[in-house]
Amino acid sequence: MSVFDWASRNLDPTQLPDVFPVEVFDSLVLCASKILHKEANCVAVDQLGPESTVVVVGDLHGQLHDLLFLLNDAGFPSENRFFVFNGDYVDRGAWGLESFLILLAWKVFLPKSVYLLRGNHESKYCTSVYGFEKEVLTKYGDKGKHVYRKCLGCFEGLPLTSMVGKYVYTAHGGLFRSTPATPKRSKGKKNRRIAFNPDPSSTLSLGSFEELNKARRSVLDPPWEGSNLIPGDVLWSDPSMKPGLSPNKERGIGLLWGPDCTEDFLKKFQLKLIIRSHEGPDAREKRPGLGGMDNGYTIDHIVESGKLITLFSAPDYPQFQGTEERYRNKGAYIVLEPPNFDNPVFHSFEAITPRPKANPFYNFEEVIDSDEELDLASMATSP
C-alpha cells in the first residue's frame, strides 16, 4: 500500500513495473485466482464471533488514496475484522490496477477475512470503455496485454454475492430473477433449436439462492439474453420506487425491482438487510424518487422485514469530470456488529485532497457519466 501510494505521487505511470514487476503480478494473480475460483457464487461470511465486526465497502473506481484512507479509518482486515467489497474496483479513476492489486494481496494474506465480489465494471466491455484496459496497457507497456488478460481472468473468478451472518445479503447491483430450467434436447433432434423463455418480462419472478449458486459466473461479460441471466442481474440491476419486477431498460441489462420485491426477498429468505452499490451521484441524479449520494449511502426501501441500502465508497466521484460543477459527494462504508450483524453503522468520509495529478485513461468528456445505455451491439461483436 505504501509503495503504490508513493509511486502514484512520484513516478510516471509507465514506471509501475519498476516497483511491481510483472513476475510479482503473475504470482499474486495466480494465487488469488486459485482462491477466488473455489468460492461459491454466494460466499458465506459466517465465521463470526462476539468480537467480530464486518466492514462492507461499495464502489471504489480506481480512487487509490480514498481506498487507503478507508482501510486505515476502518482498521485493516484481521482475524476478527472482516471485509466484504461489493465490486467496481476499476475504471474511471487513475489507479484501478493498484487498487485491485492491493485488495488481491489482502485476499491472499487473509482469505477468510476478506471477500471480493464482482462489480459490473469487472468485465471486458466496461474496462474497454471506461479506462482500465488503457490504464494497464499504459502502465505495463509491451507486457500490458498479458497483464490485462490476467486481470480479466481474475475478474471471472470473483464471487457474485455474500451472506453476512444470517440476515444480510450483499451484491453489487442487487436482486435477480428466477431462471426456468433449460429444456433438455431429446436424442436424435440435435438440429432443432429450442426457444428459451422468449419473453422474459412476462414471467419475471425473484430467484432463489439455489439458482444463484448454480449460475455460471465465469464469463467475461454477463449475458443480457439466453439462459445465464443471473450474473447480469446481480451486477447490473437497480432498485426502483415503482412496485414490481421489470427489465432494466435504462441500462439494457438486469432488472428494476420495487419495495414489494425487497419485502418478498427479505421475507422469503428470513433476511433483514440488503446492501448493494452500483449507483454513484451521477446515476442518482437521473433517478426520481430515490435519494442522492451526497453522504455515500442511501436507504432506498424501508419495508416490514427490513431495509435496502445503496452504498458508494468513492468520494468526489468521478475523479475526472467534464463539467466545472463537481458532485463533491462523500464516500461511505458500513460496519456490522455483533450479535446479529444486521444493524448498519454508517461511516461517511471526504475525499483525500489534493489528489496526486494524473491523466485520465478514457475520454471522460465523451463517455456518458453513468453506465446507462449499455452498447449491446459492441458487446456482442467485441472479440
Catalytic residues: 121
Q: By the 8 A CB rule, do 144 and 97 touch?
A: no
For 75, the grid coordinates are 482498521
Residues 162-181: b if buried by 16+ CB within 10 A, e if exposed: bbbbebbbbbbbbbbbebee
DSSP 370: S
Paired strand residues for 161: 42, 171
| Dihedral over alpha carbons 109, 110, 114, 119 (to 10 degrees) | 30
Residue 56 neighbours by CB distance under 10 Å: 29
Side-by-side strand order, sheet with 331-336: 114-116, 81-85, 53-57, 331-336, 345-349
For 141, the grid coordinates are 507497456
